[in-house]
Amino acid sequence: MPEAPSADDAFLDARSNDACSNDAPLSRRERERRRRRRAMLRAAQGVFAEKGYAHATLDEIAARAEFGKGTLYNYFEGGKEELLFAVFDEAYDGLFALVERFVSDAEERPLREAFRAFVYEAFGFFREQEALFMILFKESHRFIFGENQKRAAYFHAQEDRLVKALMPLLEQAAAVGEIRALPARPVAHMILENTKGMVMARAMMDHQGMRGQDCDDTILQRPDEAADMLAAMLFDGLAAPDGDSS
Per-residue confidence band for 43, with pLDDT thresholds at 50, 70 and 90: very high
Q: Examine the pLDDT at 83 and tell me if it is beyond 80.
A: yes
Q: What is the mean pLDDT of the chain?
A: 85
Q: Examine the pLDDT at 16 and tell me if it is beyond 50.
A: no
What integer pLDDT is reported at residue 84 of this predicted model? 95
- Portion of the chain with pLDDT greater than 70, in percent: 83
Q: Hey, what CATH topology would domain 7-236 get?
A: Tetracycline Repressor; domain 2 (1.10.357)
What average pLDDT does this structure show over 233-237? 92
What average pLDDT does this structure show over 82-110? 95
What integer pLDDT is reported at residue 23 of this predicted model? 56
Per-residue confidence band for 209, with pLDDT thresholds at 50, 70 and 90: low
Q: What is the 3-state secondary structure (H, E, C) of the chain?
A: CCCCCCHHHHHHHHHHHHHHCCCCCCCHHHHHHHHHHHHHHHHHHHHHHHHHHHHCCHHHHHHHHCCCHHHHHHHCCCHHHHHHHHHHHHHHHHHHHHHHHHHHHHCCCCHHHHHHHHHHHHHHHHHHCHHHHHHHHHHHHHHHCCCCHHHHHHHHHHHHHHHHHHHHHHHHHHHCCCCCCCCHHHHHHHHHHHHHHHHHHHHHHHHCCCCCCCHHHHHHHCHHHHHHHHHHHHHHCCCCCCCCCC
What integer pLDDT is reported at residue 190 of this predicted model? 94
Give tens-digit pLDDT for 157-182: 999 999 999 999 999 999 999 999 99
Q: Examine the pLDDT at 27 and tell me if it is beyond 80.
A: yes
Give tens-digit pLDDT for 117-152: 999 999 999 888 888 888 888 888 889 998 889 999
What integer pLDDT is reported at residue 35 of this predicted model? 92
What average pLDDT does this structure show over 59-82? 95
Q: Examine the pLDDT at 8 and tell me if it is beyond 50.
A: no
Q: Examine the pLDDT at 5 and tell me if it is beyond 70.
A: no
Per-residue confidence band for 11, with pLDDT thresholds at 50, 70 and 90: very low
Report whether 185 contacts 167 (CB < 8 A). Answer: yes
Show me where the domains of the chain are located.
7-236
What average pLDDT does this structure show over 42-67? 93
